[in-house]
Amino acid sequence: MAVSRGYHFYQNPGPTNIPDRVLRAMDRGAIDFTGAQFKAIAEECFAGLKRVFKTEQTILAYTASGHGAWEAALVNLFSPGDKVLVVESGYFSLNWGMRAEAFGLEVETLPNDWRSAVSPAKLETRLREDREHALKAVLVVHNETSTGVLNDIAALRRAIDAAKHPALFLVDVISSLGSMDFRMDEWGVDVVVAGSQKGLMLPTGMAFTGVSTRAIAACAEAKLPRVYWDWRRLLGEASQAYWNGTAPVHFFYGLQEALRMIEEEGLDNIFVRHHRLAEATRRAVRVWRQNDGPEIFAIDPRAQSDSITAVQVPEGYDADKVRQLCLDKFNVSLGGGLDRLKGHVFRIGHLGDLNEPMILGSLAAIEMALELSGVPHGKGGVAAAMDYLVTAE
């Protein structure tokens, strides 16, 4: 096997590149997680997270991947037999629903085509039909990482309100937080599920839930068994410095630095940067689309994600072969297709600690891999991305 030199271009939609500043911040000794020094770090982190979630309510953190926060949301809010509505958007939405089912909840799926954003009108119609208010919650993924489709959370909130339905509103922001605008309080979200390794630029292993006052009230009534995830324990006397077990001190070192970086750049500037890099990527794919080449999987330009682009290769070609070539020949790592999209799409992550040369380098590797694997495509995708980047804001 050939030895790779130079930077590994890590272009997966999670985990993402970890900035050197964050790595350096984590390269320190342990401290007592019950002491004042740690408490000060944790308090700075929770205050910073609230600004990123755009909430004045509660944020709880866990030593876990995002799957842990998914589970925390379920076991703290519901009782066996409760009915919840999963709004289908792709692999991640259905996966969250499967977990609810495994805990004995009755899961109804609001079906949706994976290539378009979920329809607020369809949600409103379904909720209006539920006159008895049997549905206890609506579960939505903000940015569906398997498809690159962004859902309009504010519009879905308005749909719930228009139907005058009391369901709790649960939103997974794992691949949108810190990359695209999200507003927990303004958009009336009851539980926000987030992870460390995407827009927050940390390693995998820390997860978060934003929890509304209504959700905390629901937690007191819920009957599902829970210990590690139990919000009542985490909200115990010492409040947010309190942990079920040893607090992940090193994650807090990293989180403190990542949040400082976010604050320095400014959330709005971060969103503009993500949009620029995403749009450059889309310009490249639109050129590749010529000659019946690969296309952007998300159909509606308004719903195309600024953190990940799924690219569908033409019928009869293997997306995984393109990915493998990118990795083996050019040391560029892309995301693969999940579930029914396996082999049909490759996914370009453009979120986190990323700039123009990094995305252009990756796009160039992909364009070369398309050529090498014999996938028909238009030439000049990278040039189109460059043209966009020099003229755009």
Ligand X SMILES: *Cc1c(COP(=O)(O)O)cnc(C)c1O
Q: Which of 175, 256, 304, 309 binds ligand X (CB under 6 A)?
A: 175
Q: In terms of residues, how long is the chain?
A: 393
The reply on whether position 76 binds ligand X by CB under 6 A is no
Minimum Å gap between C-beta 13 and ligand X is: 7
Minimum Å gap between C-beta 225 and ligand X is: 21
Q: Which helix (H) or strand (E) holds 240?
A: none
The reply on whether position 66 binds ligand X by CB under 6 A is yes
CB–CB of 346/320 below 8 Å? Answer: yes
In 67-100, which positions are buried (b, 16+ CB within 10 angstroms) versus exposed (e)?
Answer: ebbbbbbbbbbbeeebbbbbbbbbbbbbbbbebb
Number of residues forming the site for ligand X (CB under 6 A): 12
Specify the stretch interacting with ligand X by CB under 6 A; choose among 43-51, 170-178, 285-293, 339-347.
170-178
Q: Which of 14, 293, 335, 361 binds ligand X (CB under 6 A)?
A: 14
DSSP 161-196: HHTT---EEEEE-TTTTTTS---TTTTT-SEEEEES
Site for ligand X in 121-150 (CB under 6 A): 141, 145
The reply on whether position 65 binds ligand X by CB under 6 A is yes
Report the C-alpha gap between 21 and 44 in whole angstroms.
Answer: 17
Q: Which of 74, 77, 174, 385 binds ligand X (CB under 6 A)?
A: 174
Specify the stretch interacting with ligand X by CB under 6 A; choose among 107-115, 171-179, 222-230, 378-386.
171-179
Residue 375 half-sphere exposure toward CB, CA atoms < 13 A: 31
Q: Which helix (H) or strand (E) holds 332?
A: strand 332-336
Residue 101 sits at φ, ψ, to 5 deg, of: -60, -40
Q: In Å, what is the CA distance from 179 to each residue of 21, 76, 189, 307, 360?
A: 19, 28, 18, 6, 19
The reply on whether position 248 binds ligand X by CB under 6 A is no
Residue number with CB closer to ligand X (172 or 306): 172
Q: Which helix (H) or strand (E) holds 97?
A: helix 91-102
Window 184-203: contact mask with ligand X (x via CB under 6 A):
-----------x--------
Minimum Å gap between C-beta 95 and ligand X is: 7
The reply on whether position 63 binds ligand X by CB under 6 A is no
User: Which residues contact ligand X by CB under 6 A?
Assistant: 14, 65-67, 92, 141, 145, 172, 174-175, 195, 204
